[in-house]
Amino acid sequence: DAGVTQSPTHLIKTRGQQVTLRCSPKSGHDTVSWYQQALGQGPQFIFQYYEEEERQRGNFPDRFSGHQFPNYSSELNVNALLLGDSALYLCASSLAIQGVQETQYFGPGTRLLVL
Amino acid sequence: AQTVTQSQPEMSVQEAETVTLSCTYDTSENNYYLFWYKQPPSRQMILVIRQEAYKQQNATENRFSVNFQKAAKSFSLKISDSQLGDTAMYFCAFMKRRSNYGQNFVFGPGTRLSVLP
């Protein structure tokens, strides 16, 4: 049973560039959430996708956008990168049962460094 | 808005001993889940234990158990017979249980646990 996978594992970008991170959910899951984890802090919720729509969004600017594909995989896009975007980006997947999300399972994360 | 507080930034315990990590939360919701996740240095976030707020019985998973006090909004994690592999950051997390296809975790700041040989 494949767990949540993310790619790439590490990424280095410069300020102003754009980046795309990818996530494949755990088998059988239909919902993907993205989190930003700065060094030494707890994860902060970015947004959640279900049925290819953004269902909820945290306190992140529009530079952060996403997409969910028919196979439930997801992308996180960040435009106009800032130094402060350097963080570990975590993807979590879950299964919605009658609209209620069950436990989220996390991927290994993508470490983004913005220079 | 919900908030989760972990008042112990760092803790240490001797191997084979018992340690308790604290977590308090603030919410006006009545129906929710609480979780403890473990994040080793390898950074993969691993589910340790889950508690449903409507269940009075405290959840247990092998050496891990919780003390859930709903009225006090407290959710502590007890690790028995600590092992070196328990060394990690531990995050307490809250999730509303609502049928609206949009829920997310609110995480605490974490407690760094070191198990000493």
Decide if pLDDT at B33 tops 60.
Answer: yes
Nearest CA in chain B to A5: B44
Our count of domains for chain B comes to: 1
Contact A100 B105 (CB under 8 A): no
Decide if pLDDT at B99 tops 70.
Answer: no
Place of tokens 């859930």: B68
Contact B46 A106 (CB under 8 A): yes
| Nearest Cα to Cα of residue B77 among A103, A8, B69 | B69
pLDDT band at A38; cut points 50, 70, 90: very high
CATH number of the structural domain spanning residue A44: 2.60.40.10
CA of B74: how far to CAs of B7, B26, B98, in Å? 12, 9, 21
Our CA-based measurement puts residue A52 at a distance from the nearest CA of chain B, in whole angstroms, of 12
Tokens matching residue B102: 């949009």
CATH number of the structural domain spanning residue B7: 2.60.40.10
pLDDT band at B102; cut points 50, 70, 90: low
Residue B21 counted as domain residue: yes
What pLDDT score was predicted for residue A2?
76
DSSP class of residue B3?
E
Residues of A whose CB is below 8 A from B45: 43, 90, 92, 106, 109
Distance CA A24, CA B22 (A): 33
pLDDT band at B31; cut points 50, 70, 90: confident
Contact B50 A106 (CB under 8 A): no
Mean pLDDT, range B28-56, rounded to an integer: 90
Residue in B98, B104, B108 nearest the CB of A100: B98
Residue B79 counted as domain residue: yes
Residues of B whose CB is below 8 A from A98: 99
Residue B29, domain extent: 3-111
Q: Express as a percent the part of chain A with pLDDT over 90.
A: 80
What pLDDT score was predicted for residue B29?
85
Our count of domains for chain A comes to: 1
- Encode pLDDT of A62-107 as tens digits: 999 999 999 999 999 999 999 999 999 999 999 887 767 778 899 9
Residues of A whose CB is below 8 A from B91: 42-43
CA of B2: how far to CAs of B13, B27, B37, B68, B76, in Å? 30, 5, 18, 17, 17
pLDDT band at A56; cut points 50, 70, 90: confident
CB-based burial of residue A71 (10 Å sphere; 0-12 exposed, 13-18 middle, 19+ buried)? exposed
Decide if pLDDT at B101 tops 70.
Answer: no
Do B40 and B88 form a contact (C-beta atoms < 8 A)? yes
Residue A54, domain extent: 5-114
Q: What is the mean pLDDT of chain A?
A: 93
